[in-house]
Amino acid sequence: MNKPLCLTILLSFSLCLPSEARRGDKKQSVYSFYTTRQEITPAAIVAFAKQFLGVPYRFGGSSPQKGFDCSGFVNYVFSNFHFLVPRSSAAFNSKGRQVLLTEAQAGDVILFRGTNPKVKSIGHIGIVISDKGEPLRFIHASSGKIRCVTETLLDNRYQKRFVKIVRLIL
């Protein structure tokens, strides 16, 4: 491989790294960043999302360094794969292709109403991590007791708030 091409590839890769890694700060990011369209699979999205398990919940947060809220987390994950997705959970209501709950698969986005039963609009989202046919599990930034990015089973508590599943990866 000739030197100009190597330099171009290296430069392209470094621009996909978090800013602290590009600057050469001593605190290096441990997160992987994917750069090619062929790597965009449900498994790649789930693997990338799982790197953030335990990152604290932060209202309005959209980075692993400062914390995530639910939509900031989903936005961060999909933006890493060059998907232009909304920053607010409510805006996901009109995105992607709706699929039946029984057809949900890893990489789909799951939408819920918020915790106030009087409010019927979308108030929480996450990413499905289970395969079709398995009990549905999702990863999300929870503002509940745990207050971090966590994996959760679609139990009765969440089933009561469930609105729909949308598929962004076609």
Give the residue from 112, 109, 58, 52 showing the smallest Cα distance to 85.
109
Q: How confident is the model at residue 30 (pLDDT cuts 50, 70, 90)?
A: very low
* pLDDT of the residue at 12: 33
The amino acid present at 67, given as its one-letter code, is G
pLDDT in tens, 31-71: 444 444 556 899 999 999 999 999 999 999 999 999 999 99
Residues with Cβ < 8 Å from 76, sequence gap 6 or more?
52, 62, 63, 64, 68
Tell me which of 26 and 53 has the higher pLDDT. Answer: 53
| Domains of the chain: residue spans and CATH | 37-167 (3.90.1720.10)
Alpha helices (H) in 35-92, listed in sequence order: 42-50, 70-80
Average pLDDT over residues 87-100: 94
Q: Is the distance from CB of 57 to CB of 143 less than 8 angstroms?
A: yes
The model carries a pTM of 0.79
The span from the CA of 127 to the CA of 45, in Å, is 9
Average pLDDT over residues 13-21: 36
The amino acid present at 112, given as its one-letter code, is F
